[in-house]
Amino acid sequence: MSITKKVFGTDKKTKKAVYEYSIKNKNGMCAKILNYGGIIRELWVPGRDRKTVDVVLGHDDLMPYYENPGYLGAAIGPNANRIGGAKFTIDGTEYQIPANENGNNLHSDNESGYHVRVFDVEEGVNSIRLFLQDEDGDMGFPGNKKFEVVYIVTDENELRLDYHFVSDKNTVLNPTNHSYFNLRGQDGGSIEDHVLWLNASCYTPVAAGSIPTGEILPVKGTPMDFTEPKEIGLEIGADFAQLKLGGGYDHNWVIDGADGQLKLAAKVTAPGTSRTMKVYTTLPGIQFYAGNFIGEQEGKLGAAYHNRCGLALETQYFPDSINKENFPDAVFGPERQYVSSTVYQFCNN
């Protein structure tokens, strides 16, 4: 197991140095993490032939990450996904946060969200701990907050992310990672032929603007059913209202049996490769986004990125949980610290 560090650039806003940390295990698996945005820039995983392939979308230099409209590889916080009307009420006080997507809030804030922040770093043996602080009222969220995420690479070919928040006021906390995966490699083309299984017999449908209606509906008999492994592209264009609203799959699935313990939530394979990716999490939900709006751009090593060339599996509390009484409680504070874990494990099928 080894960790190396190199300069990746200088943050244009803070003028702080940006570093890339490489964590490599005995099998050749290697995660390359930036302290800018907590970005997973590269993730090299071995196949049956022990040759490694980089399976996450990203960029070769820092400049494209300043905009990064698709949040490629980034840590999202303090709140991932959407909050309807960009407002919420906690303990009788209404809070207004940035309305940055059709009058709603998406991923906290474009200018100050964690995806564009420079983290402090502490190195471990097979891990790095990224941490930062927010003052009460930053981005409109209450509470003086301390946040950390630990990236761990194991000899079982796992990339584990352990999250921890402490806040001195009750506030909304729901971090995630926004990596896009392609098991053929970051230049592997469309993911519509990837085969996905989700440990989820229900999902949360959305209204216009992708804000959940508050319903929790069964997937059975709909194109949202991945309880048996299915090609992503098989029904993505179906005449189904939910798919039309999102331009394809971009929804929260309710993980069966979620109880705060680490559970298998998803499994992905791709034709032409021996790789399988399994996603484990302690969280109650997982956002499957088929990359419907990635947009044409140049990726690493000149790769041509386009819609649906990567898929995201974002572990989370449900979107807009703060405004839906029947959704899992995403309010944390002095009496309830935020703790969660997510594991991306790679093996050969």
Whether the CB-CB separation of 181 and 40 falls below 8 Å is answered with no
Biggest alpha carbon–alpha carbon distance for the chain: 59
| Rg, Å, the chain Cα set | 19
Give the sheet arrangement for strand 202-204, strand by strand.
217-218, 202-204, 250-254, 285-289, 312-316
Q: Say which DSSP state 318 is in.
A: P
Catalytic residue among 59, 107, 115, 178: 178
Task: Please choose, from the candidates 55, 70, 14, 62, the residue with its C-alpha nearest in 3D space to the C-alpha of residue 34.
Answer: 62
Instruction: Give Cβ neighbours of residue 325 (< 8 Å, ≥ 6 apart).
Output: none
| Catalytic-residue membership of 314 | yes
- Which DSSP helix (H) or strand (E) runs through 66? helix 63-67
Residue 229, C-beta contacts closer than 8 angstroms, at least 6 positions apart: 195, 196, 197, 267, 269
Count the neighbouring beta carbons within 10 Å of the beta carbon of residue 199: 21
Q: How many residues does the chain have?
A: 349
DSSP per residue over 287-301, as a string? Answer: EEE--TT--SEE-GG
178 is catalytic: yes
Residue 104 to residue 124: CA distance in whole angstroms: 39
Report which of 233, 225, 207 is spatially closest to residue 311, judged by C-alpha positions.
233
Measure the CA–CA gap between 134 and 142, rounded to whole angstroms.
Answer: 10
| Distant-in-sequence, close-in-space partners of 300: CB < 8 Å, separation ≥ 6 | 42, 54, 57, 58, 59, 60, 186, 187
Query: Which are the catalytic amino acids?
Result: 178, 314
